Structure 1
Amino acid sequence: MSISFYAFVFALVALAAHRLSKVGRRPPGYPPGPPTLPVIGNLHLMPKEKGHLQFQKWAEEYGPVYSLILGTKVMIVLSSDKAIKDLLDKRSGIYSSRPDMYLGGIVSGGLRMLLMEYGETWRMIRKIVHNNLNIKAARTYVPYQDLENKAMLVGFLDKPEFFIDHIRRYTNSLTTQMVFGFRTTSIDDPKLKQLFHGFEKFCEVTGTTTAALLDLFPVLRALPDAVLPLRKYAKELHVKEKELYVGHWLNVKKAIKNGTSKPCFCLDLVRAQDEENFSDDLAGYVSGSLLEAGSDTTAATLVGFVQAMLLFPDVVKKAQEELDHVCGEHLPTLDDEPNLPYIRGAVKESMRWMPTDILGVPHAVIRDDEYMGYTIPKGAGVMWNVWAVQMDPKRHPDPRRFDPARYAHDNQSAAEAASNGDPSARDHFVFGAGRRLCQGMHIAERSLFLAIARLLWAFDFQKVRDDAGNEIKPDADSLTEGLFVLPTPFPARITPRSEEKAAVMRAEWAKMEDLLDKDQQWKVLPEGLIWKKYEAATETS
């Protein structure tokens, strides 16, 4: 072989070695961050659990904008309200995509809106969702929320030890009505259990070290499933998830086409499918994504609220004093909201104190950018560090105390707070930012208000005692792991405040039952729902 050939090979090896030597290093001009190691960067520092605490520590050390070099990838971490506003909101045109989440994509079949890159398909879905969840549409769902809330109250009366199950049925049934047109009537419903179990496993898989390694070193994806058992498990999760979501979709699609369905979000989805000709798999995941979003995060917030009531009995006392003064012996309604500032504060504080998307779902920047003198490279993941912002003592003094009085003079809705030009005036960040802002926030906020107001009006919350008579104190720092979190299971003693209030709850539910048929579904739907009757698209020759 010629000398020129060996020179060429040597040059290739030298070039590869040079490029490899740069992997894992923090390039000049990037935001500061922890020291790196060759090839792996900061990967060795990434926590296996309680990641939010480490990300908070790094924010305290490196400032509101820092970078993590993770193998071949870069993660920019935003840990101040101003940085989130400046980039994710004001520059949303380039900060609204998603980084590659390989295992999450496998579980989702590449169809989950939450993980979808910014593009035509995502924009189409977002438009359909907006038409059904905007503030005008959200007002029409109040009868659904009222019905499901009263069903939850009776569940608390009859089987208070299953309070988490009653909360989950409440949020799930509200969502199945809006999305598919039917109620979820039992805490033992198998599809209800499958939904929460499946989403829990999705969050766990996407939060693993294996998932991170496959994102950061794509070459590892060539390994067989025998070496990557988590990928095999992700594929199995997808089969079950698709069965649930597409199954729901096909059932309601058939009912819509033959005119037997109840008004629901899927009416618009069928129309859109007629026009755009997208697959049933995508339609199933669009409707399924709404089902999981409407069911899981609101339920997790309410579980956190119950835990807070056990830990902060002074809040219960103040809230009940306000409710008794304003509502007396009638069940609180949304009409009472303007006169219940402490309860409104409790809603906001529930989302601040126990944020379900504790580190946010990372955005991705689609072109090179500059901020605070730092380079933010195209393709970088951009994390909005929800925990660090909401636990910043400068923003919220004594942040681990649950204190609704923080919001005594804040009359903004969540949507108004998110769009406030002053980022320091935003109440919390659990609904996201920019073009990824949660479109169901109007509905979630009302569901939380009705639940918190009525549970505090109706019940006392106390710690359970063990066999020795000692109180079992929930650990507010013990959270599940994964993309979305909630408190780990804890016991609670929940009792009606009086026989009179118990009687009111049962009487209110009896009125609701008069509106339901033998299967506990609506006989006649409430007036004012926004959906139009489905008409098949006419074919032109």
Structure 2
Amino acid sequence: MDNVTFLVCILIIVGFWRLSRIGRRPKDCPLGPPTIPILGNIHLIPKHDVHLQFQKWAQEYGPVCSVMLGSKVLILLSSGNAIKDILDKRSSVSSDRMDLYMGQTLASGGLRVLMMIRRTLHRLLNINAACSFEPYQVLEAQQMMYDILTEPTRFTEHIRRYANSITTTTTFGYEIWNYLSTCTCSHRESKLKLVRYRVITCEDPYFQEFFKVFGEFVLIAQTGVALILDYLPLLRLLPSWVLPLKRRAKTHHEREKALYRYHWDKAKKIILSSKPNPSFSIGLVDEQRKYRFSDDFASYITGTLLEAGSDTTSNTLNGFICAMLLFPDVQRRAQEELDRVVGSSRSPSPKDQGQLQYVRGCVKESLRWMPTTILGAIPHALTQDEYYMGFRLPKGAGLLNNVYTIHGDAARYPNPRQFDPQRYKDDDQSFFDAATNPDVSKRDHFSFGAGRRICPGMHVAERSLFLAIAKLLWAFEFRCPVDDEGIELVPDPTKVTQGFVCGPVPFEAVITPRDTHRAAIIHREWNMAKERNLDSRTMQWKTFPGGIGTCT
């Protein structure tokens, strides 16, 4: 055998040896399921209900276990202590993001921020900003109540409109009446199109396009091919004719970017040419001037907020209604508290929150019982080796906030599948206070993440959820429908939609007003809100109701 042949043989042997090492769990890593070469544990990841598999592994291998995804290590953090110790206390090294080739690089053109500029997001969505957005939430809640009263079978759509309209107005603001006063009549219609940010109806074309685009992104990002490309980088070299999902992802990105640029370009134009009212985009324009990032990047910051705010809020509210069908005693007890504190002459308002402890418990329990970020959204990643519980957590490893498993821990939440607002009877913390409490045993839930990447929109979300849940309980009775044989059609809370953001699979509910007096109040409050705040022709805001947006 000549030297060249010998060298080639050695290279082949070394290559096969190194290839066989891919997918193996390092000996000093946390325990986990048995691996196979190349794939590691990818073959064990189910297509549906991944959270149940992760819960099973956590129960078998401990609160900190590892899953091998090809060449990458994913650490499942399945206890409150692990979340606090690794994501909170070591946030300086545990706040990176895993490389998601299909979802981030191809389907989003590398622009999907997911808290890439977290300091800016936290500053622009702080508690004071949340208070200034309160008038938007109040008005949208009044329309939601009217819509459900008049079309109760479409409650899912009306809740989704509520959540999305709050998100679009808080993200982009509005400026219509004063802006139009400087326009000639011949240009009036084009100017109206420029500033429409309230989502008036579920048939709104931009509303429908948004959810189509986001739904397509979720489908692309959660496919088996996407998982393999994320964790076996060599396969990314394959051309699109071999992997058509790559072409589909790039096409999706162009459609998504067009939608997000449409909203951002118009918001920025208004901000630079007039005096707009409170919105996230006002601060973002200032940040863009300071750091000089592109309009594409800015549009994806606002687009990410639309995604996060719209689906999480609406899915949580749908989960709450599902719980009311299954736990009628909770519904009755909450209504008794509302009748005692609020009465029947008006519907609840943000100022009632401090006196409605049981209703606040319903809000917190909705986020625990059916968490929308069931796997903690996108995993964090370590920037250096760390050691915990005697194991090495390697640099680059993903860190997954195993929310469903933590929320189902009977030691932390006795009888976890019971919807029980009484868990929080002594908890007067806001979402933020609970999430940042040094004593992790006092944290209410883990739906908003942890560490430096904790959700910056939780202040806004808390107010949106409380207002909606308080008003729904005050106004309506929720019952299961019955079939032709008189058998109740009870929703199955274990069946959830798939993807980064989950919710209950579609279910039916019978929603009726508690009495005619409350129905009349819903009509009156919505009519007064329209007359006071909205342009009768466009149903968009005509002026900002100053003085309402103060913390209660």
TM range (shorter): over 0.9
Residue 335 (str. 1) matches residue 351 (str. 2): yes
Residue 395 (str. 1) matches residue 395 (str. 2): no
Match for residue 534 of structure 1?
Answer: none
> Letter of the aligned partner of 1:11 in structure 2?
I
Give how far 1:207 is off.
Answer: 1.7
Match for residue 495 of structure 2?
Answer: 478
Match for residue 194 of structure 2?
Answer: none
Residue 112 (str. 1) matches residue 112 (str. 2): yes
Match for residue 349 of structure 1?
Answer: 365
Residue 154 (str. 1) matches residue 172 (str. 2): no
> Letter of the aligned partner of 2:143 in structure 1?
A
> Letter of the aligned partner of 2:255 in structure 1?
K
Which residues of structure 2 form unaligned runs of 5+? 174-196
Match for residue 280 of structure 1?
Answer: 295
SS in 1 for 2:97: coil
SS in 1 for 2:96: coil
Match for residue 362 of structure 1?
Answer: 379
Residue 163 (str. 1) matches residue 155 (str. 2): yes
Match for residue 265 of structure 2?
Answer: 250
Match for residue 286 of structure 2?
Answer: 271
8 Å CA contact 1:252–1:261 kept in 2: the answer is no
Residue 178 (str. 1) matches residue 184 (str. 2): no
Residue 56 (str. 1) matches residue 55 (str. 2): yes
Match for residue 209 of structure 1?
Answer: 224
Matches for 1:382-531 after TM superposition, within 5 Å: 382-514=399-531, 515-518=533-536, 519-527=538-546
Give how far 1:240 is off.
Answer: 1.7
Give how far 1:205 is off.
Answer: 2.0
> Letter of the aligned partner of 1:461 in structure 2?
F
Deviates more, 1:460-469 or 1:521-530: 521-530
Partner of residue 145 from structure 1, selected from 137, 149, 171: 137
1:119-169 Cα offsets, whole Å, 9 max, x none, are xxx2xx323322321012211111111111011000011111111111111
Q: How many Å separate the matches in 2 of 1:137 and 1:252? A: 18
8 Å CA contact 2:54–2:405 kept in 1: the answer is yes
Match for residue 24 of structure 2?
Answer: 25
> Letter of the aligned partner of 1:349 in structure 2?
E
Match for residue 533 of structure 1?
Answer: none
SS in 1 for 2:107: helix
Match for residue 537 of structure 1?
Answer: none
Partner of residue 122 from structure 2, selected from 130, 141, 157: 130
**CA root-mean-square deviation:** 1.5
8 Å CA contact 1:178–1:264 kept in 2: the answer is yes
1:329-378 Cα offsets, whole Å, 9 max, x none, are 12111221121111010000000011111111211101111111101111
> Letter of the aligned partner of 1:171 in structure 2?
A
> Letter of the aligned partner of 2:534 in structure 1?
L
Q: How many Å separate the matches in 1 of 2:269 and 2:350? A: 36
Match for residue 322 of structure 1?
Answer: 337
Deviates more, 1:166-175 or 1:201-210: 201-210
Q: How many Å separate the matches in 2 of 1:229 and 1:12? A: 33
1:504-540 Cα offsets, whole Å, 9 max, x none, are 111111221122112112221122599xxxxxxxxxx
> Letter of the aligned partner of 1:344 in structure 2?
R
Q: How many Å separate the matches in 2 of 1:416 and 1:273? A: 30
> Letter of the aligned partner of 1:500 in structure 2?
H
8 Å CA contact 1:205–1:482 kept in 2: the answer is no
8 Å CA contact 1:204–1:483 kept in 2: the answer is no
Deviates more, 1:426-435 or 1:11-20: 11-20
8 Å CA contact 2:320–2:366 kept in 1: the answer is yes
1:382-401 Cα offsets, whole Å, 9 max, x none, are 11100000011111111111
Q: How many Å separate the matches in 1 of 2:23 and 2:101? A: 20
> Letter of the aligned partner of 1:201 in structure 2?
E
Match for residue 39 of structure 1?
Answer: 38
* Count of residues in Structure 1 that have an aligned counterpart in Structure 2: 521
Give how far 1:277 is off.
Answer: 2.4
Give how far 1:28 is off.
Answer: 1.2
Q: How many Å separate the matches in 1 of 2:384 and 2:430? A: 33
Match for residue 13 of structure 2?
Answer: 14
Q: How many Å separate the matches in 1 of 2:259 and 2:52? A: 35
Deviates more, 1:332-341 or 1:271-280: 271-280
8 Å CA contact 1:67–1:76 kept in 2: the answer is yes
8 Å CA contact 2:107–2:253 kept in 1: the answer is yes
1:268-289 Cα offsets, whole Å, 9 max, x none, are 2222223322211111111111
Match for residue 322 of structure 2?
Answer: 307
Give how far 1:502 is off.
Answer: 0.6
- Return the TM-score normalized by structure 2: 0.92
Match for residue 75 of structure 2?
Answer: 76
SS in 2 for 1:402: coil
